[in-house]
Amino acid sequence: MSLTGVIALDGPSGTGKSSVARTLARRLAARYLDTGAMYRAVTWAVLEDGIALDDADAVAACAAAADLEIGTDPEDEWVAVDGIQIDKVIRSAHVTAAVSAVSAVPEVRRLLVAAQRDLIGDGGIVVEGRDIGTVVAPDAELKVYLTASPEERALRRARQEARTSPKDIAAIAAAIRRRDEYDSNRPTSPLRPADDAIVLDTTAMDEDDVIARLVDLARQRGMTGEGPR
């Protein structure tokens, strides 16, 4: 199969967006774009420069000055700022704690949305984030909003971080709820499903189930060069 058009995958953290989007892109011989990695990369740059998170002008200036590059090959993920590859460090706890504040700055979002649209180009790509279907690619042929219960999302994140104690899981769940609240209520590009998005609750689904459902949806829309099954 070879994907035509754009698949937009949105949703909060812990719903499996990243792993699902990568695997789906591989399955459909498509490119893959993790827009969250772009916001994390800018956040890393802001923290490296010692900029206060509440100084919106300085944050925006840092984002404008950063030479941000990101790969779109699902078999070779990478992101770099000013020639420094930062794939691992952008997943660190201090970047995670700051990314919502940085991504809420309107000028940061304007800059990165423009860059994301350039990367999407003519399509043939799976794009994941929080505002793909509503802002970045509102004309995407397939829009899906992945969701899951906060408890299930906390369990998934805890497994990723090799943290298994009930106290750890409760703390992760609380952090997830705080970020959901922040992202859903920010004035610029709030986290929400597009009006025409398919909402897919993955709480009781494994990754294979989700991928199979998404492949079927793409096939139904004639995006794979195959007819519907």
Phi and psi for 210 in degrees, rounded to 5?
-65, -45
pLDDT at 150: 84
Average pLDDT over residues 30-45: 97
Q: Where are the domains of the chain?
A: 6-220
Q: What is the pLDDT of residues 106-165, one digit of tens each?
A: 999 999 999 999 999 999 999 999 999 999 999 999 999 999 988 888 888 777 777 768
The torsion region of residue 47 among left (phi > 0), alpha (psi -120 to 50) and beta comes to alpha
* Extended strands (E) in 45-102: 68-70, 79-81, 84-85
Average pLDDT over residues 85-98: 93
Question: Does the pLDDT value for residue 75 go beyond 90?
Answer: yes
* Top-level class of domain 6-220: alpha beta
**pLDDT tier at 229 (50, 70, 90 boundaries)?**
very low
pLDDT at 64: 98
Q: Dihedral of CA 90/95/96/102: which sign?
A: negative
3-state secondary structure of 218: helix
